[in-house]
A and B are shown apart, each in its own frame.
Chain A
Amino acid sequence: MAAASLGHMFLTYLRRELRNRRKQTAVVAIGLAVAIALVMVVSSVSAGVRDAQAAVLESVYGVGTDITVTQTAEPGEGGGFGPRRFDFDAEDGEATDEGTRELAQERLTTNPGTTSFEADALDAVAGLEHVTGVAATLELTSISFSGEMPDLDQMREEGGGIVVGPGGGEEGGQGGPSSFEIDQQTVTGIDPAAAAVGPLTTTEVADGRTFEASDAGQDVAVLDAVYAEQEEIAVGDTITVGGTELEVIGTVSSTTGDGVETAANVYLPIDVAATLADLEDQVTTLYVQVDSSSNVDAVSEAIAAELPDATVSTQADLAEGVSGSLSTASSLVSTLGTWLSVIVLLAAFGLAILFTVSGVNRRTRELGTLKALGWSQRRVVGQIAGESVAQGLIGGVAGVALGGLAVLAVNLSGITLSGSTGAQVAFGRPGGGGMRPGTEGAGEAAVGGPAAFGGGGGDGLAGTVSDVVLQAPVSLWIVAAAVGLAVLGGLAAGVVGGQRAARLRPAEAFRSLA
């Protein structure tokens, strides 16, 4: 058997049939094309959203972090805004002539909702199987309060509490003028010697230098470049954290994107941070790297067993913690997008099958004639299946082109997704959203009795917000899968139609009607 000659008639006949039934071919191919274009868009957009999520997570947790370990604060302990207050006694500060007292206080505590735990957890985790790297950080929030408060002694005499007006303005309250400022920064203590895992892995030095092993115990700080610019702090300047002056040795910027803030405003050697916060040998977060993604769950369970009080989060858990338009997009793509593609894909497959079967029914006499001419079962079935697969291929190529254009359109339209991670709770970071010093939120805080400032509550708990422009990647894999799906649709139609053709008796050639 000369294969080439068989192939020739096969192809000629196939081409003629497809050309002759142009409309049917077009409908089937377009159906499949639209379906796989949709599949392409959905899968590449969801890959894009996943990338964006990873970028947001990485900007907070660093590259290569598979698991983070934190500990949730018990009510009444830790750095929560609720229980932690600035408590000023009436005698604090200096009384001024105008019936106010000048006050200034700074608090360096663990982040709201989290608490620190013993640093030896690091060694416990490092000793676990499949763990290839662990870094510990001490993630703190520094809130400083400064300003003038009404002299409470005087006010008590007049009776009743007072409300400080917006912006701490002059007209606020009957008890005399008051004004105050709240400043807040995130401060992260880092092991200067450990560089492989942790928040600094997604940063690059913008100015000066980053930590070296010899910085341990030194009063030095590295600042987030965006923060440094806002605060007009340059390398070589000093900043005050926890009442101690630290020399700024460098600034770092995020590798995630231009103008994106890194995980914290201020980075310190972890031992210095611990001393300043009065949290000796304590850490708040462990960043754990695992040898293979298939071991992440096992390691996560092992850590949970080792540290029963800890909250162990895998990348997948962390991704769930990403909120904002990013998470909306993510759930939209994963639910609606997936269902829509499945439905459209099934409809396209159904259409292909329907048209093929009706084609076989119409060609009963023709196919019977071929059998009467001595064509084998296999050849007749192959011819029918070949036509369907060819329609699938045409649909596949058209669909990849269509899908490619659609993805291109998505990418060119520059959709910006913003994501925030609840785990890194920032409060009123300058320019970072949330509450700003001296704005309404602070001003509305009621002051009564011994002046107590209890924080702004939930509204102020904006996480680390990152804007990521959606870039939907079209991988070769997606293209191959898309074409494969279209061919699969053609094949499904071919199998059904071929089965029908196989059942036809050669005697159908004698049918008087076509």
Chain B
Amino acid sequence: MRGILCAALFAFALPALAGGAAVADAWLRYIPGGTPAAGYFTLSNQSDKSLSLVGAECADFGMVMMHRTLERGGIFTMRPVHEVTVAPGKTFSFAPGGYHLMLMRPKHPLRPGGRLPITLRFADGSSLPVEFVVKSLQAR
């Protein structure tokens, strides 16, 4: 209920809702103890213009970044990503081992099974409130 309310408030507070952008399977893996959480989702562009995701915001974390995990020769690194562009009619997945929302400095413990409102921001100034499901560590 609180999540829905927050999402509604977010929607009013923001200049414009992103048209044609849809998100499915939004979830985050929460690790207890104040370490960063990773957010995953599938973004689809149902409009006839390209869609550029440029960031995300969440009131429950100190900072949210877009990251990509890269592997080269068995060495892993996370790199900040500033923009993800989805062509018209295409989808793009943030998934374990690839792209993720890096949710840093949780302001309070999260409850697995709960919901967390996160707002995605796009290059054209529009945004999209999304409800992420908080999953336990065992989620994959």
Q: Are A and B genuine complex partners?
A: no
